[in-house]
Amino acid sequence: MNFLNDEIVYGKNPVVELLKSGKPVNKVLLIKESSGGRNQEIISLLQERNILYQFVDRQTLDRLANRERHQGILAYLAARDYADVEDILAFAESRQEDPFILMLDEIEDPHNLGALLRTVDAVSAHGVIIPKRRSVALTGTVAKTSAGAVEHVKVARVSNLVQTLKDLKKIGCWVSGAEASGKNVFEADLTGPRVIVIGSEGKGISRLLRENCDELVSLPMKGKVSSLNASVAGSIMLYEVLRQRVSAR
């Protein structure tokens, strides 16, 4: 199999072999002019496995493959298989616990995702939900930063965060979104079925997602800077959920 590094496979036959193997894949890039019949087998496999794919120009593939013979196709490997939201909820039920879920809105830095996975494991939350697009996936860098937590945390990758949030609310989850304008998180009641939403590094939580949160919470900032790194803020909030759960027992 043709590997450019530990995250990328290129070439038509190697990518088909990868897709048929069932190994986890984050995304496949196809050259624009190759979207006809000769790639139909690959597109069918991608659709069958619900794998994200995108058409790009030859220059993009040349650059990503370091000008190796990519044959118009390149695949990004995932560090592990993705879960479904139902898997996360079933995990909570199997432990006879209220769901405790972290939802991430367009986090793009793999180090932030890796650090948050490490915290999710540490606080014994049930899983993480990320969007399929405009978000870092389970890359090798994420796995390395997570210090092994990626092997223990269920990560679901969904097409629509807003709809997923609505579905979780229908089954009784309360949603707390992290926003600077929110109330002090240490004064909020974070017990019960809980989803914590953390926004992107630059823009925060998107408008539609924010409007579907039940409440907005924030961390008190007493110093000169006005915000914290997404993984730091998210980790503090996750530990506050854990603290309140332990205190409520």
What is the mean pLDDT of the segment spanning 188-198? 96
Domains and CATH numbers, the chain: 3-77 (3.30.1330.30), 85-248 (3.40.1280.10)
Instruction: Tell me what pLDDT residue 154 has.
Output: 96
Which is higher by pLDDT, 203 or 152? Answer: 152
Average pLDDT value for the chain? 89
What is the mean pLDDT of the segment spanning 84-106? 96
d(Cα 210, Cα 74) in Å, to the nearest integer?
35
Sign of the C-alpha dihedral computed for residues 233, 175, 192 and 110 taken in this order: negative
What is the mean pLDDT of the segment spanning 5-32? 83
- Decide if pLDDT at 4 tops 80: no
- Structure pTM? 0.86
Nearest Cα neighbor of 26 from 65, 52, 45, 56 is 52
Instruction: Tell me what pLDDT residue 133 has.
Output: 87
- Decide if pLDDT at 74 tops 60: yes
